[in-house]
């Protein structure tokens, strides 16, 4: 394997997906001079893959799909992204990369998911991966080549191909800092395409996710034009426009080996000396999608556009929003082994109380089924409206209310929630950790869930909450606006409590409206619990829309 070569000097201040990173790392980078060969086009020379392997605990003996009863025509899709549950997940992108392919297989799509083979993927999955082949790939401007291994895993009708390279994927977390992440994802995007060619698996559509795959549409047209893959259409989905993969032009041009003329303001150039991987991908993609209709509109405005609003307005003809869903097998309160008492729609009112009591016991809160328990499950970053929560937390604690926070992220928020736990012992619990099981128990045991985000492309926590009969209290932005219908006291309709402007007083007002209903009109509250559990927040409808888009693009 080639040694790491870098070019230029840079101070990093940008945030990366999954974690707000603000480091002062300075990396010195030397241009290298080896050879300038174009990337090899790899021969389709794989051995037949071995029998599909299923993970022991998640496997199901489902019959093969009856394709004649499925929507026609069939389409093949390669998903390319940086994380995917259960292998590696830092947020909602991981959920979507797992659940949407699975939902698409039920819509007559043949889906392969291409992911990095991070070291941190649990051994229970690593050990079941099957070697599909390997090759050397040219990458950098100096022609340095890198190893690309392909490890395969098949589960629930979806094929997962992991790109293996120990040099790029050794860190414990998928995202560390941009000085490492930019080379890693320049490599990953190109290796994903080269792997498809190598496996001779030419999909109708290549579906890329977020900035980490921003170079894929460009590589596809600029470097794979003479390969069979050039037939594929390409879609780029924006899960979070805040993260764009911006770094200096010298560094990105070195690692991508893309021609300098692409570093212009319509494609990859961001500013005088910075390039932007997301921006270039948006230009080259056949379609751009994002994860809710409202966010698709918001990102074309300066307030939400993260400096790409003009670019997105220019490309708005190929931009659309499709709201996320949740996976009903993963989130099923009637079969959830991670919660204390399983429940369904007809038992929720009785059994949710048991879950509340056991949650209080687990967290060391005062055990009382009559108090109002508010949950918050979130990355602790400034996107999530935590300034508002911090501002009103003392006003929420009134002897009848408990607040349970689960999250990690910005140390300032972590400390402030720890401080509130100390100040309001027995009423506030700050779980500064990432814990899937605890998340399930909070969804099951809390009465309401706060999602007061400053911006929220879609948001999954409010969907999971509704599905578990927990009432969301949300700000009307992005997918929160599209999925939570405000409670209407006159018609006794709606799914939750909402507020519009980003102001702490308005959040407090929404919380107080929720409490008033809970404490004074419990029948109406209970109606809403049942209504929310009935609400369709599955992937089915959205998967159908994605499928239709694939068909429209390729017929």
- The minimum distance between CB 77 and ligand GLC, in angstroms, equals 17
7 binds, among ligand GLC, ligand ADP, none (CB under 5 to 8 A by kind): none
Among 109, 158, 460, 543, binds ligand GLC (CB under 6 A): 460
* Residue 286 binds: one of ligand GLC, ligand ADP, none (C-beta under 5 to 8 A by kind): none
Cα–Cα dist 442/425, whole Å: 18
Q: How far is the CB of 315 from ligand GLC (least distance, A)?
A: 19
Residue 437 or 505 with smaller CB distance to ligand ADP: 437
Stretch of residues binding ligand GLC (CB under 6 A), selected from 99-107, 277-285, 451-459, 544-552:
451-459
* Alpha-carbon span 499 to 517, nearest angstrom: 16
Report in angstroms how near the CB of residue 329 gets to ligand GLC at its nearest. Answer: 18
> Which lies closer to ligand GLC via its Cβ, residue 133 or residue 321?
321
Among 10, 356, 379, 467, binds ligand ADP (CB under 6 A): 379
Binding of ligand GLC at residue 426 (CB under 6 A)?
A: no
Collapsing DSSP to helix, strand or coil, 352 comes out as helix
* Contact flag: residue 459 with ligand GLC (CB under 6 A): yes
- Within residues 460-479, the interface with ligand ADP by CB under 6 A covers 460-461
Q: Is 89 in the site for ligand GLC (CB under 6 A)?
A: no
- Collapse the DSSP code of 150 into the 3-class scheme (helix H, G, I; strand E, B; otherwise coil) and give the result: strand
Of the candidates 218, 406, 444, 511, which one interacts with ligand ADP according to CB under 6 A? 406
Contacts of 51 by beta carbon, 8 Å cutoff, 6+ apart: none
- Among 214, 280, 407, 472, indicate the residue that binds ligand ADP (CB under 6 A): 407
Q: Residue with the closest Cβ to ligand ADP?
A: 92
CA angle 213, 214, 215 (to 5 degrees): 95
Beta partners for 449? 375, 472
Judged by CB under 6 A, which stretch of 75-83, 92-100, 344-352, 387-395 contacts ligand ADP? 92-100
Closest-approach residue to ligand GLC (CB): 92
Q: Can you tell me the distance from the alpha carbon of 120 to that of 83, in angstroms, rounded to the nearest whole number?
A: 11
Closer to ligand GLC by CB, 356 or 379: give it.
379
Regarding 283 and contact with ligand GLC (CB under 6 A), the answer is no
Alpha helices in 257-385 (DSSP H): 277-284, 293-298, 309-314, 348-363
Which residue in 287, 458, 543, 549 binds ligand GLC (CB under 6 A)?
458
φ, ψ for residue 517, nearest 5 deg: -65, -45
Give the SS3 label for residue 409: strand
- Comparing CB distances to ligand GLC, the nearer of 354 and 467 is 467
* Of positions 117, 239, 356, 475, contacts ligand GLC by CB under 6 A: 239
Name residues contacting ligand GLC, limited to 291-320 (CB under 6 A). Answer: 291
CA torsion sign for 457, 463, 497, 443 is negative
Of 512, 444, 453, 509, the closest CA to residue 480 belongs to 453
Structural contact between residues 539 and 546, judged by C-beta atoms closer than 8 angstroms: no
Q: Which of 8, 39, 81, 92 binds ligand ADP (CB under 6 A)?
A: 92
Rounded to the nearest whole angstrom, what is the least distance from the CB of residue 460 to ligand ADP in the complex? 4
| Joined tokens for residue 252 | 């990105």
Q: Is residue 286 part of the contact set for ligand ADP (CB under 6 A)? A: no
Q: Judged by CB under 6 A, which of 8, 149, 214, 457 binds ligand GLC?
A: 457
Q: How many CB atoms lie within 10 A of CB 266?
A: 11
Report the side by side order of strands in the sheet with 448-451: 428-431, 401-406, 372-377, 448-451, 471-475, 497-499
- Mask for 432-461, x = binds ligand ADP (CB under 6 A): --xxx--x-------------------xxx
E strand or H helix that includes residue 414:
helix 411-423
Strand order in the sheet with 233-238: 130-138, 145-155, 158-164, 109-116, 75-80, 205-209, 233-238, 287-290, 319-321
CB of 505 to ligand ADP, least distance (A): 25
Directed axis angle between helix 386-396 and helix 411-423, to 10°? 0
Alpha-carbon distance of 267 to 105, in angstroms, equals 34
HEC-encoded secondary structure of 486-498 = ECECCCCECCEEE
CA-CA distance, 509 to 487, in Å (whole number)? 13
- B/e letters for 127-165, b = 16+ CB within 10 Å, e = fewer, are ebbeebbebebbbbbbbbbbbbbbbbbbbebbbbbbbbb
| Nearest partner of 130 among 110, 112, 150, 108, judged by Cα | 150
State yes or no: residue 91 binds ligand ADP (CB under 6 A).
Answer: yes
- Identity of the residue, 93 or 429, whose beta carbon is nearer to ligand GLC in the bound complex: 93
Complex with ligand GLC: residue 112 or 239, whichever CB lies closer = 239
| Sign for the pseudo-dihedral over CA of 214, 220, 223, 224 | positive
> Rounded to the nearest 5°, which phi and psi values hold at 357?
-65, -40
Restricting to residues 470-509, name those near ligand GLC by CB under 6 A: 479
Could you tell me which stretch among 86-94, 135-143, 264-272, 354-362 binds ligand GLC (CB under 6 A)? 86-94
Residue 291: contacted member of ligand GLC, ligand ADP, none (CB under 5 to 8 Å, by partner type): ligand GLC
Among 294, 408, 477, 498, binds ligand ADP (CB under 6 A): 408
Q: Binding-site residue total for ligand GLC (CB under 6 A)? A: 14
- Least Å distance, CB 183 to ligand GLC, is 23
**Is residue 184 close enough to count as binding ligand GLC by CB under 6 A?**
no
Span interacting with ligand GLC, options 189-197, 248-256, 258-266, 456-464, rule CB under 6 A: 456-464
Q: Which residues bind ligand GLC (CB under 6 A)?
A: 91-93, 96, 239-240, 291, 324, 456-460, 479
Q: Which residues bind ligand ADP (CB under 6 A)?
A: 91-93, 95, 377-379, 406-408, 434-436, 439, 459-461
């Amino acid at each position: 394997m080639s040694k790491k070569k870098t070019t230029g000097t840079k101070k990093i201040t940008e945030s990366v997906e999954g974690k707000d990173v603000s480091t002062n790392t300075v990396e010195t980078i030397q241009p290298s001079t080896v050879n300038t060969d174009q990337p090899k086009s790899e021969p389709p020379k794989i051995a037949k893959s071995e029998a599909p392997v299923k993970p022991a605990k998640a496997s199901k003996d489902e019959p093969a799909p009856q394709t004649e009863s499925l929507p026609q025509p069939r389409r093949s899709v390669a998903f390319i992204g940086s994380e995917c549950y259960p292998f590696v997940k830092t947020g909602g992108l991981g959920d979507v990369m797992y659940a949407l392919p699975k939902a698409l297989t039920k819509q007559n799509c043949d889906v392969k998911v291409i992911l990095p083979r991070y070291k941190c993927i649990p051994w229970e999955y690593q050990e079941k991966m099957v070697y599909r082949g390997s090759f050397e790939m040219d990458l950098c401007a100096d022609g340095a080549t890198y190893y690309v291994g392909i490890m395969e895993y098949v589960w629930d009708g979806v094929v997962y191909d992991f790109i293996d390279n120990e040099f790029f994927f050794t860190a414990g977390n998928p995202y560390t800092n941009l000085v490492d992440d930019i080379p890693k994802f320049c490599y990953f995007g190109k290796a994903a395409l080269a792997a498809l060619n190598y496996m001779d698996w030419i999909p109708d559509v290549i579906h890329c996710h977020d900035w980490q795959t921003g170079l894929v549409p460009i590589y596809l047209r600029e470097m794979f034009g003479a390969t069979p893959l050039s037939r594929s259409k390409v879609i780029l989905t924006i899960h979070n426009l805040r993260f764009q993969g911006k770094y200096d032009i010298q560094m990105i041009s070195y690692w991508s080996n893309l021609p300098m003329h692409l570093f212009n303001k319509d494609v990859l150039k961001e500013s005088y000396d910075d390039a932007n991987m997301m921006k270039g991908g948006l230009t080259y993609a056949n379609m751009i999608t994002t994860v809710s209709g409202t966010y698709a509109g918001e990102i074309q405005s300066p307030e939400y556009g993260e400096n790409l609003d003009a670019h997105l307005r220019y490309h708005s003809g190929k931009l659309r929003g499709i709201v996320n869903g949740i996976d009903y097998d993963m989130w099923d309160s009637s079969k959830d082994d991670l919660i204390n008492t399983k429940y369904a729609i007809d038992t929720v009112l009785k059994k949710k109380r048991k879950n509340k009591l056991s949650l209080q016991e687990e967290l060391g809160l005062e055990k009382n089924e009559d108090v109002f328990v508010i949950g918050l499950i979130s990355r602790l970053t400034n996107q999530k409206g935590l300034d508002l929560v911090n501002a009103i937390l003392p006003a929420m604690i009134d002897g009848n209310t408990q607040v349970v926070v689960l999250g990690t992220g910005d140390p300032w928020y972590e400390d402030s929630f720890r401080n509130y736990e100390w100040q309001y012992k027995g009423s506030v619990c700050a779980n500064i950790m990432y814990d899937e099981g605890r998340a399930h128990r909070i969804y099951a045991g809390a009465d309401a869930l706060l999602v007061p985000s400053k911006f929220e492309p879609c948001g999954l926590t409010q969907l999971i909450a509704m599905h578990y009969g927990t009432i969301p209290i949300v700000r009307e932005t992005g997918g929160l606006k599209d999925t939570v219908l405000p409670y209407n006291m006159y018609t006794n309709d709606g799914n939750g409590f909402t507020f519009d402007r980003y102001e702490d007083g308005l959040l407090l007002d929404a919380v107080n409206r929720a409490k008033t209903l809970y404490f004074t009109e419990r029948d109406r509250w209970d109606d809403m619990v049942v209504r929310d559990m009935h609400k369709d927040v599955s992937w089915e409808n959205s998967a159908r829309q994605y499928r239709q888009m694939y068909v429209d693009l390729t017929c």
